[in-house]
Amino acid sequence: MPNWLVLATEALPAAALPAAALPPLPVALPLLVCALLLIGSRALPIWLPDLVAVLTALAVAALCATIAGRASAEGPLVTWFGGWTPRDGAALGIGFSADAASAGIATFAALLFTATLVFAWNFFDRTHGHFQILMLLFLAAMVGFCFTRDLFNLFVWFEVMSVTAFALTAYRLDDAAIAGAMTFTVTNSLAGILMLAGIGLLYARAGALDFADLAAAVARAGHDPVTAAAFCLVAAGLMIKAAVVPFQFWLADAHAVASSPVSVIFSGAMVAMGLFGLAKLVWVVFGGSAQIRDAVGVFMIAGGAVTALFGGWMALIQRHLKRLLAFSTISHAGIMLVGIGALSQGATAGLLLYVVGHGLVKGALFMVAGILLALRSSVDEIALRGRGRGLAGAGAALGLAGLLLGGLPVGLLDLGARALHGALEAGGHRLALAASLLGTAMTGAAVLRAGARIFLGWGGRPGNEGRAPTLEEQERGNRAYWVMFVPCGALLVLDLAAPTGALVAAAPGWTRSFTGRAALPGDAGALALGAAWMPAASVGLALFLAAFALFGDRVAPAAAAHIRRLHAGPAALLNASHSGLVGDDVVWIVLGLAVLALALAVV
Amino acid sequence: MSLLPYATAAWLLGIGLYGIVTSRNYIHLIGCLAVCQSATYVLLLGIGYRRDAIAPIFYDHPPGTPAVDPVMQALVLTDIVVGATLTALLLVLALQVFKRRGTLDPQKLKPMHPPSNAGTRDAGPREAGFAGEARPEPQP
Amino acid sequence: MSPRLRVLLLGLAALVLAPCALAVIAAMPEFGTAIAPYGARINAVAPAERNIANMVTAINFDLRGLDTLGEEFMLLAAVTGTVVLLRGRRGERDGDRAARLPGRAVVPRSEAVILACRIAGPLTALFGLYVTVHASLTPGGGFQGGAVLASACVLIYLGEGYAGWRRGVRSAVLDAIEGGGALLVVLCGLGPMLVGAAFMQNVLPFGTFGALLSGGLVLVANLGVAAAVTAGFSQLVLEFLEETRAPRPDGADGGDDA
């Protein structure tokens, strides 16, 4: 265990508790606070819910960090609720199994919530603490989702996450927010239904719900249609949450229309939770089935690569900053999915680091969008051209975050990306590697272009992004600039200041504990970082693409016009395919389900 | 037909999805989602069923009497609560959609709008609607 | 996409999914022959070790009590969300004032309706309590009992009219009851930890099998859930009913939105 973590966690009072008492606390604490806030909702002064929520999220982060530290030293902390310890080798109740990596992800989620609640200070002052209640429930559900070792309990936390997310999306109550929330609610309810059907099928085969019991049954079942169908349904449910092509259509609208503090959580943590859950189930529950492993290797590598490219391309042709960021999240979700599909310890370590790094950077980016909405009353990069002057801090944050997103070789996100690159190279997934580099470059370019246009006033003539759908909106400007900027900067500092050396040392152990098994045959099991030229190449390409979008007209007018004409048709088609109509989204979900089923049946 | 319950569940999921995809009214769509949800009820209860067994309540029958699977019954109970909460939230959204748009047709409701005149617009800060409001742009 | 294209694509997906579904159904365990080992073990363990006769209650409130904790807060999230989303448009200020019904004639209730509701209301409430407290014996429990209690609450509206309903059912009180019920459920989890047991461990005496007071902590958690569900569902009805009303024209308590 790294020294900094020992020092950090031993200073906390919770470190003295017995190991089994710790994991329920970060879930129970926010629930307790929610109940108290609801009881006192009418009587409390307006500022109190904000303060209580921030302190609670911070306490959850401290508890989760303590758990991560303890788990790193002692192995996963296991709790059996109600004292129902397994008998005769099979579970009777529900257990939490908090390994270091899961606790690390939970810590990250709690920190992101803390920053977001500071960012949203005073934003929701007229709701009697209802917004804070929903946010804390969201956090509790995420922590429960990270720690649980029971498939149905995982579903319960998944649904709590969904229900709070639905309410938070529509919160702004304008046409766009309600329409986006409607599509989001229908598609993600379907995700829950598919997942529960999968859980039912698995129960029919295994007669158990605990991960360990299920894993044993899956391994016994071998090549079995029922197990495969169960995986297909559960994975589809999680991939809808994780916004993998073609399950992604709901995301851009939901993230674009939600209030910016909510979007921070959606893009930074909720999408990542879908991928995290998928990775956990692939390794811990379904890892014993060669049929499912093979299908995962094909579907998730191909699907991830397509998602990475698709999201990057879509991000390049957006003008609404939050929608642009939403598509970049889709692209990065694809890169993370490739990390699941690679099925190696190194790729899993990369995935876990990437989740945290990406969440920090993307959270900061959505906060910049929120600052623009509050102080400049728009997030349309063309309408805002040059109007970001005077917000130098926000502009610098956007530029830095854009570079990090595009692959700037410093910080946590880069460490995760390099670990993924190394694992993909070792696994022979050259095409997926190229796709993830391209996706990274395109999302970085999109953010840099938007930043240069808004804060520097460059790029007078917009390209095809000018014809993308947009939205006129603004958020209440009742908060001081610095209150919004400090959490945004803090997230970027966290990404940059992460002790990469210590993490590289600790990652293999954490990953082994997360996956619950030693490396699969043909996997070295070590963390191999990719070559240094790869992030450099992607950030270079990002800068080039951004510069071409901004200055192509002046430097090479003929070429720029030609490319724009060539690109106009596909761009229009892509934007039109995201119709935002719920019927279309559901058709795509069913098609995705069919493709996944085909992969499982054929492979 | 011993496979009928599972086939019923698959059928319910299928027609529910068909209904969602072709729906022209949000209330109908919410009903179709409930049909999909009931597919899971049928599936779970079918999996937990045992012929000639009692409900898993040992009040009138002594413990040890063959009973159906109580786990599936408990999961369905949770599932029903999930369904109720989702229906409540969706109905709220449908209500708000109708209040603001005067229609419940999913085909007529898009979150984002094409820009009014691409690229040349430079909206001032007060041009947008009042705080927190988004103004729909005219459809071309 | 046009509706026709959608159905076409759906049909295409069905071409793949239908054979897959058939293969899965054919491979499923034979219907109605045996139950899963997990369920069978619970049928054996819960009556013997917890003196509970109703296995569904034993699972929901003891063996898998954590699911119920999550479920309870899922309901709380939905109710909170509903309140925020409906009230956001109306504004918060008229929260506890009766509003008017625009453009509809107010027909006085017949005395028969009033009488029927006044008789049925208390009986329904009593039945809800009965269902709740017999959780460990007969079908029912906090969720079911709470739903029945909430319908008793709605009978106040039917019998006493809107003004009577608004006098009797206060949003702030419902919030407090809902939060209090949820708090009780969380404390059922945290409380046992104070005496060194596991989260939600059933540390109270189990009583005798088949008696009303059996099951220990299960009963307490049931009461908490019943309170939260009653208040939560009543809150939902209250907020939806408000949607049929308009703010009073004097402007003093109207919403601040356009």
Query: A83–C82: do the CB atoms touch at under 8 Å?
Result: no
Identify the pLDDT of residue B117: 44
The band of C90, judged by pLDDT with boundaries at 50, 70 and 90, is low
Give the domain ranges of chain B.
4-56+68-108
Handedness of CA A544, A549, A555, A561 (dihedral sign): positive
Task: Please indicate, yes or no, if residue C23 is contained in any of the structural domains.
Answer: no
B 3-42: CB under 8 A from A: 9, 13, 17, 20-23, 26, 29, 33, 36-37, 39-40
Backbone angles phi, psi at A476, to 5 degrees: -60, 130
> How many Cβ atoms are within 10 Å of A544's Cβ, its own excluded?
12
**The token pair that represents A146 in the structure block:** 């990270």
**The token pair that represents B93 in the structure block:** 């959204």
Identify the pLDDT of residue A1: 44
pLDDT at residue C244 is higher than 90: no
Give the integer Cα–Cα distance in Å for C200 and C195. Answer: 11
Give me the mean pLDDT over the C39-68 stretch.
94
Give the integer Cα–Cα distance in Å for C249 and A35. Answer: 36
Cα of B60 to nearest chain A Cα, Å = 25
* DSSP element (H, E) containing C169: none
Identify the pLDDT of residue C257: 28
Cα of B126 to nearest chain C Cα, Å = 17
| Nearest-by-CA chain A residue for C10 | A587
Domain range for C124 is 54-90+107-242
Residue B76 in contact with partner chain A when CB distance is under 8 A: no
Give me the mean pLDDT over the C144-170 stretch.
90
ipTM of the complex model: 0.92
pLDDT at residue C94 is higher than 70: no
Residue A473 in contact with partner chain B when CB distance is under 8 A: yes
Give the Cα-Cα-Cα angle A601, A149, C69 (nearest 5 degrees).
120
The band of B3, judged by pLDDT with boundaries at 50, 70 and 90, is confident
Task: Please indicate, yes or no, if residue C58 is contained in any of the structural domains.
Answer: yes
In A11-150, alpha helices (H): 25-39, 47-74, 100-119, 130-147
Identify the pLDDT of residue A173: 80
pLDDT digits (tens, 9 = 90+) for C209-232: 988 888 899 999 999 999 999 999
Cα of B66 to nearest chain A Cα, Å = 17
Identify the pLDDT of residue A10: 61
Selection from A7, A135, A117, A143 nearest residue A64 by Cα = A143
Q: Does residue A253 or residue C149 have the better pLDDT?
A: C149
Identify the pLDDT of residue A70: 93
Residue A500 in contact with partner chain C when CB distance is under 8 A: no
Task: Please indicate, yes or no, if residue C33 is contained in any of the structural domains.
Answer: no
Identify the pLDDT of residue C135: 92
**The token pair that represents A374 in the structure block:** 């509050």
- Tell me the residue length of chain C: 258
CATH class of the domain at B4-56+68-108: mainly alpha
Q: Given 3-state DSSP classes, what are the helix, strand and coil percentages for chain B, each rounded to the nearest 5?
A: 55, 5, 40
Residue B104 in contact with partner chain A when CB distance is under 8 A: no
Give the integer Cα–Cα distance in Å for C156 and A149. Answer: 45
Residue B134 in contact with partner chain C when CB distance is under 8 A: no
Percent share of chain C, pLDDT over 90 = 66
> How many Cβ atoms are within 10 Å of A596's Cβ, its own excluded?
26
pTM: 0.93
CA atoms within 13 A on the CB side of C220: 19
Give the integer Cα–Cα distance in Å for C228 and B38. Answer: 25
Q: Is C27 in contact with B45 (CB distance < 8 Å)?
A: no
Q: Which of B3, B59, B60, B110 to probe by mutation at the C interface, max C CB count within 10 Å? A: B59
Q: Is A35 in contact with C180 (CB distance < 8 Å)?
A: yes
Give the integer Cα–Cα distance in Å for A474 and A86. Answer: 54
Identify the pLDDT of residue C100: 65
3-state secondary structure of A393: helix
In A281-409, alpha helices (H): 290-316, 321-341, 345-375, 392-405
| Nearest-by-CA chain C residue for B22 | C3
Identify the pLDDT of residue A349: 94
Choose the weakest-confidence range: A345-354, B127-136, C21-30. Answer: B127-136
Q: Is A312 in contact with A443 (CB distance < 8 Å)?
A: yes
Cα of A572 to nearest chain B Cα, Å = 11
| Nearest-by-CA chain A residue for C96 | A42
> How many Cβ atoms are within 10 Å of B136's Cβ, its own excluded?
16
Selection from A310, A323, A312, A385 nearest residue A550 by Cα = A385
3-state secondary structure of C258: coil
The band of B123, judged by pLDDT with boundaries at 50, 70 and 90, is very low
Identify the pLDDT of residue B135: 38
Identify the pLDDT of residue A124: 76
> Which residues of chain A carry a pLDDT beneath 70?
1-15, 125-126, 518-519, 521-522, 524-525
Residues pairing with A13 in the sheet: none
Cα of B71 to nearest chain C Cα, Å = 6
Contacts of A78 (CB under 8 A, 6+ apart): A20, A23, A95, A96, A97, A98, A149
Percent share of chain A, pLDDT over 70 = 96
pLDDT digits (tens, 9 = 90+) for B12-60: 999 999 999 999 999 999 999 999 999 999 999 999 999 999 999 999 9
Give the integer Cα–Cα distance in Å for B78 and B89. Answer: 17
Identify the pLDDT of residue A468: 86
Task: Please indicate, yes or no, if residue C47 is contained in any of the structural domains.
Answer: no
Give the integer Cα–Cα distance in Å for A67 and A70. Answer: 5
Task: Please indicate, yes or no, if residue C38 is contained in any of the structural domains.
Answer: no
Cα of B135 to nearest chain C Cα, Å = 13
Give the Cα-Cα-Cα angle A590, C7, A274 (nearest 5 degrees).
15
Identify the pLDDT of residue A541: 96
Task: Please indicate, yes or no, if residue C226 is contained in any of the structural domains.
Answer: yes
* DSSP element (H, E) containing C79: helix C65-90
Identify the pLDDT of residue A108: 97
**The token pair that represents A182 in the structure block:** 């409607």
Identify the pLDDT of residue B128: 33
Query: B111–A256: do the CB atoms touch at under 8 Å?
Result: yes
B 44-103: CB under 8 A from C: 46-51, 53, 55-59, 63-64, 67-74, 77-78, 81-82, 84-86, 88-89, 91-93, 95-96, 99
Number of domains chain C contains? 1
Query: C35–B69: do the CB atoms touch at under 8 Å?
Result: yes
**Chains in contact with B via at least 3 Cβ–Cβ pairs below 8 Å:** A, C
Query: C71–B50: do the CB atoms touch at under 8 Å?
Result: no
The band of B124, judged by pLDDT with boundaries at 50, 70 and 90, is very low
Identify the pLDDT of residue B84: 92
Q: Is A586 in contact with A190 (CB distance < 8 Å)?
A: yes
Selection from A214, A455, A224 nearest residue A321 by Cα = A455
| Nearest-by-CA chain B residue for A588 | B21
Give the integer Cα–Cα distance in Å for A603 and A290. Answer: 10
Contacts of A18 (CB under 8 A, 6+ apart): none
CA atoms within 13 A on the CB side of C216: 20
Q: Is A583 in contact with B23 (CB distance < 8 Å)?
A: yes
Give the integer Cα–Cα distance in Å for A472 and A501. Answer: 45
